[in-house]
Structure 1
Amino acid sequence: MTQRPVSNPAPANNPAPAYNPALSGNPQSATGRAYPNGNPDLGYNPPGVRNTDSAVPLRRDKPVIHNYACKDAAPGNLAFRWTYGSNVAAKNRDPRVQVVQYNEDSFVLRQNVCVHWEAPFTYLLFGNKGALLIDSGATADAQHYPLRATVDAIITRWAQARGRRAVPLTIALTSGEDVAQNQGLVQFAGRPETTIVPKPLHVMKRFYGLANWPSGTGAIDLGDRVIEVIPTPGTHQDGVSFYDPYCDFLFTGDLLFPGKINIGNDRDFVASLERLKAFAADRPVKWLLGGHIEMMFVPGKYYPRFATYKPYERVLEMLPAVIDEAIQYARDVQGKDMMLIRPDFALFNGVSPDQRTQVWPVGVPNINAPRPF
């Protein structure tokens, strides 16, 4: 909550310090980084409250221009627990869209598992010229899954803080074929100042300028924050991944995530993982953020389809080293109808997503997960 200026005079024996912009934490000052959370000596930051002068004033005379160039990954926080549903979905009272602000320009949204069992993630990123929404969830009905209303509210609040009247929005999908990620798209039909990346593969390739698909990369310029687009077919023939150089995130959708990865074309799958590895070798990658969580926190165990109660989920983020592991085991299943379990993901190639195995893989601890009820 923003602390408003106070007018209480300082005691005579302890006069208030003179206002010095160079020490104020004001974003306009060259040395504002000295007080990134606000200067506690200023009069509108009284003792006992969080310093907030870096967010004052909310009404600005001109738009704030943010510097997205940074040596290391922009800081942020995902230290929390996702809502995990209920045994009886109709009785669940959690938000239908869970919103987590990773940092001031990056948001992670998750669909409630009781609204749709796949509980997909969407990502909202801001730059100086616009915003990008990656994926759109598994439910079209805005009453049951108010994605557009949620995104509009975030954009409105962000625009007020940055002194902007309008924020153009681009909506892009990690796969137009993926039903769990494309259903909410219809909620944005007719929305002003909105660009929706076309779903058909041949049109999508032209939009990104990917004439030699699946070679090359495309780009979405948000204004000093350029999101790169990498073709990654394999689970879907139109699959793409997105790289954010500000947070050093790779958004990998259904290609690589902590869950049951259903391979559509095993040759393309291996090639896409190798392409992702080569891409990541030239750029810093902090985390891979996929489209779902299906794995439990114990190695190799996952939730079945249609489960609406998942209290023991693994964390969303994956370290970039998982790309090498995925390549190794993707090669093992290539050309075979089989499933292969690893601690952080399971590969399903040519078999049902409900396939089970009685042979536990060597090197993966076989730990029984707690019973939720």
Structure 2
Amino acid sequence: MAQNSTTSPAPAAKQPARPYYPNGNLALGYNPAGVRHTDSVVPLHRTQPVVHDYASEGPAPGNLAFRWTYGSNVAARNRDPRVQVVQYNEDTFVLRQNVCVHWEAPFTYLLFGNAGALLIDTGATTDARHYPLRETVDAIITRWCQVRGRASLPLTIALTSGEDIAQNQGLVQFAGRADTTLVPKPLAVMKRFYGLDRSWPSGTGRIDLGGRVIEVIPTPGTHRDGVSFYDPYCDFLFTGDLLFPGKINIGNDRDFLASLERLRDFAAGKPVKWILGGHIEMMFVPGRYYPRFATYKPYERVLEMTPDLIDEAIVHARSIMGKDMMLIRPEFVLFNGVSPDQKTKVWPEGVPKIDAPHPF
């Protein structure tokens, strides 16, 4: 009688290890150059917080291709968000105050790193019922932490000018907030905070967010305590009201020129994709701008400015040195020693004289 034999099944072939790309596989076609942040959008089986690599050969990709809300003829009837939020990329947010809440409609910027977040400027309104900046920032941070596997993240709040009412009023909303550092507003204390008490205005400070180090550049001129911020990840230069597409009210023309020259020298050694200021007041028509207190601005110029405009601003800052006058340029208007409501009948050479559209 034949014996029954049993054969053990052959062991299954070992599957090759799946490659792990801690910050995304840059070789894939859908990851353009500079992409580092594809891992945190798929939070499956995460046991540790996501850590990003903020080093890249070029500016981090992002998108500002949209239209800002532009207010209403009757401000009380406006139903746009009180704070408009645009996510430039996973770690960079641009926020704007509704123009019907405050006519200057200032911009604030929220940047994230592995160890902290930075809010640059706080808008023009203290009352959170009308301008819920803290609520908005808290919601963004909470969502960011959920995606990145973190319980919380420290927040630092810095101002391009503690003297600029349009940029510092929302600061009071963050009083008493846990795990929050407020950069001091008084000039002398602010210098010490950045380590600039002995090198102002020629030195630079740093805010380390964890792999993303923001540089602080003293830029007095419109205000005595003015500073600009440089982000080496997106290659952005945040300039507040020193240089922006609008009416630039010069407080000290010598300091203003020196600060622009300092920015030029800084940008010569650092890649700058865009200059992002604190406001938009210019129309898309060259040299035309909205008057103060306007709450309906349907023909605004874009926010971002190219770095070559620093050189143009330097040329014209020199031309008005020591003169009480206003000077219109296609992308901005300089006011030196005159009222921000000053008008001129002299249309400058090189600026096309095109009538602005009428919204009514």
Query: Is this a same-fold pair by TM over 0.5?
Result: yes
Q: CA 1:19 to 1:193, structure 2 compared with 1: closer, same or farther past 3 Å?
A: farther
Offset, 1:57 = 2.2
Kindly indicate whether residue 22 of structure 2 is the aligned counterpart of residue 28 of structure 1: yes
Match of 2:265 among 268, 278, 282: 278
Kindly indicate whether residue 350 of structure 2 is the aligned counterpart of residue 353 of structure 1: no
Partner residue, 2:211:
224
Contact kept, 8 Å, 1:217 with 1:229, in 2: the verdict is yes
What stretches of structure 2 of length at least 5 have no aligned partner?
1-14, 32-37
Match of 1:237 among 224, 232, 235: 224
CA offsets 1:224-249 (integer angstroms, 9 cap, x no match): 10000000000000000000000000
CA offsets 1:333-366 (integer angstroms, 9 cap, x no match): 1100000000000000000000000110011001
Contact kept, 8 Å, 1:21 with 1:29, in 2: the verdict is no
Alignment partners' CA distance in 1, 2:23 and 2:333: 51
Kindly indicate whether residue 197 of structure 2 is the aligned counterpart of residue 200 of structure 1: no
Letter in 1 for 2:101: V
CA offsets 1:289-328 (integer angstroms, 9 cap, x no match): 0000000000000000000000000000000000000000
Offset, 1:56 = 2.2
Match of 2:133 among 115, 134, 147: 147
Kindly indicate whether residue 176 of structure 2 is the aligned counterpart of residue 190 of structure 1: yes
Question: Percent of pairs identical after alignment?
Answer: 79
Match of 1:157 among 140, 143, 151: 143
Contact kept, 8 Å, 2:24 with 2:39, in 1: the verdict is no
Partner residue, 1:266:
253
Q: Which has the larger radius of gyration?
A: 2
Over aligned residue pairs, what C-alpha RMSD do you find?
A: 1.7
Offset, 1:19 = 9.7
Contact kept, 8 Å, 1:59 with 1:161, in 2: the verdict is no
Q: CA 1:114 to 1:58, structure 2 compared with 1: closer, same or farther past 3 Å?
A: farther
Alignment partners' CA distance in 2, 1:279 and 1:35: 34
Letter in 2 for 1:80: F
Offset, 1:139 = 0.2
CA offsets 1:4-50 (integer angstroms, 9 cap, x no match): xxxxxxxxxxxxxx99733xxx653874752757xxxxxxxxxxxxx
Partner residue, 1:252:
239
Q: With the length of structure 2 as denominator, give the TM-score of the two structures.
A: 0.91
Q: CA 1:212 to 1:145, structure 2 compared with 1: closer, same or farther past 3 Å?
A: same
Alignment partners' CA distance in 2, 1:252 and 1:32: 32
Q: CA 1:29 to 1:190, structure 2 compared with 1: closer, same or farther past 3 Å?
A: closer
Partner residue, 2:349:
362
Letter in 2 for 1:28: P
Alignment partners' CA distance in 2, 1:277 and 1:96: 35
Kindly indicate whether residue 308 of structure 2 is the aligned counterpart of residue 311 of structure 1: no
Partner residue, 1:41:
none
Partner residue, 2:166:
180
Offset, 1:59 = 6.9
Partner residue, 1:212:
199
Partner residue, 1:336:
323
Query: Would you say how many aligned residue pairs link Structure 1 and Structure 2?
Result: 339
What stretches of structure 1 of length at least 5 have no aligned partner?
1-17, 38-51
The 3-state SS of whatever aligns with 2:334 is strand
Alignment partners' CA distance in 2, 1:139 and 1:58: 41
Q: CA 1:299 to 1:32, structure 2 compared with 1: closer, same or farther past 3 Å?
A: closer
Kindly indicate whether residue 104 of structure 2 is the aligned counterpart of residue 118 of structure 1: yes
Contact kept, 8 Å, 2:112 with 2:209, in 1: the verdict is yes
Partner residue, 2:10:
none
Letter in 2 for 1:104: E
Letter in 2 for 1:286: K
Contact kept, 8 Å, 2:23 with 2:39, in 1: the verdict is no
Letter in 2 for 1:343: P
Q: CA 1:21 to 1:135, structure 2 compared with 1: closer, same or farther past 3 Å?
A: same
Letter in 2 for 1:361: P
